[in-house]
Structure 1
């Protein structure tokens, strides 16, 4: 009984893997690749923009995990 269950589980894993490879990697149902992904010039221009941004830090920020909003942390004046 255990051999049948193990064999069935192994077979289902193999079928799922083969289906994944055929559908996603070989694009059985077509699938598209955005032009930006395949365009080398777009990648170069994007990289230039990222490298050109100033690398200065802003004020410290804390994220509220409930509302997913960022709040700037202001220093407290003591005294």
Structure 2
């Protein structure tokens, strides 16, 4: 019988936390806007191109942010 209260509490707390996150981050109840660097695709492509051209001095080239790429070694596109 206590299992249903635990599951209900977990589901309820997840719903409340999702709602709070959505209201604060998407509806921006505390003000603010999305930065242009996040919403501008041209800026993102230019930044990514610049990161890929970053000079390396030791070892094989590595991605600047490997978590977003899921591959850790940069392959040269122009052989």
The reply to whether TM is greater than 0.5 is: no
What TM-score do the two structures reach when normalised by structure 1?
0.44
Larger gyration radius, structure 1 or structure 2: 1
Query: Relative to total residues, which structure has the larger strand share, 1 or 2?
Result: 1
What TM-score do the two structures reach when normalised by structure 2?
0.44
